[in-house]
Structure 1
Amino acid sequence: MNQAVHFITCSTLDLDAARRFYVDGLGWQALVDVPGEIVFFQVAPGVVLGLFDAVKFADDLGDAGATGVSGLTLSHNVESRTAVDRVVETLSAAGGTVRTPPRDGAFGGIYHAHVTDPNGLIWEIAHNPGWRIEPSGAVVLA
């Protein structure tokens, strides 16, 4: 198996609230939007985030207990500490809940915050001076 992830799909208890947050609040454009079922967003070259209605998600897995997201963060890295503050404000204004306000991290000069979307999906907004993407697309963590 190649070391790659192309789809990240999260069970979403309230798909309409997720749509309002990402599309109306943040201005994201859906790649595919199937009302009552799933909405997909391209979040990076070759990478799609899917927000799947929890009941449909559980049906797809054949597991009625699979209805929420747990133990997962999605990280959005930005160019500066000021950008962290600005993105957190944008997420909050769109209906997100700030779990951890912007602060210095425990290592590596990281400055970050955590914000949940209306369904509890946790976003880490971070400035990490040791992180970059090479022109080839390779990630460098220094």
Structure 2
Amino acid sequence: MDARLSFVTLAVRDLAAARAFYVGGLGWEPALEVPGDVVMVQVGEHLVLSLWDLAHFEAEVGPVARGPGGAPVTLAHNCRTRQEVDAALAAAGRAGAEVSAAVERDWGGYSGYFADPDGFRWEVAYNPGPIGQAVLP
């Protein structure tokens, strides 16, 4: 099996709210929409973010864990500069996200976080190291 990721699927409680955040708020363009079921956004050359209605997700995949705290996963968006990090976090805030301001990190970069309407956390980072630069378009 190739080391590759094709889709990231988020099971969302309110598909309309998720669409409003990602499409209306962040300005991302849907590549495919099935009303009431799924919204898919091409987020990389070979990568799609799929926002899938929770009930439809559970019908196919099975029950999801519920409880306090955030999901034990983060998504990440890397930027070329610290200023781009601040701008991206500000855009997420304007779209309605809960935002944690970016700070200098011990690993040599600069990052902050935002949470989408379902609480999925996104790291927005400037990573000056080789791996951080490798993921930039």
State the 1:84 CA deviation: 0.8
Unaligned regions of 5+ residues in structure 1, if any? 134-138
**1:14-70: CA deviations, max 9, x gaps?**
111110011111111001011111110111111101011111100011x23457971
Partner of 1:35: 35
Identity between Structure 1 and Structure 2 (%): 38
After superposition, where does 1:39-58 map in structure 2 within 5 Å? 39-58=39-58
Q: Give the structure-1-normalised TM-score.
A: 0.86
Q: Give the structure-2-normalised TM-score.
A: 0.89
Partner of 2:98: 97
Do the aligned partners of 1:11 and 1:53 also contact (CA within 8 Å) in 2? yes
RMSD, aligned CA: 1.8
Mapped pair 1:86 → 2:104: no
Do the aligned partners of 1:57 and 1:66 also contact (CA within 8 Å) in 2? no
Unaligned regions of 5+ residues in structure 2, if any? none
After superposition, where does 1:1-142 map in structure 2 within 5 Å? 1-61=1-61, 63-65=62-64, 70-98=71-99, 100-107=100-107, 109-130=108-129, 131-133=132-134, 139=135
Name the CA distance, whole Å, in 2 between partners of 1:77 and 1:110: 10
Q: As a proportion of its length, which structure holds more helix?
A: 2
4+ runs deviating over 6 angstroms: none
2:59 is matched by which residue type in structure 1? D
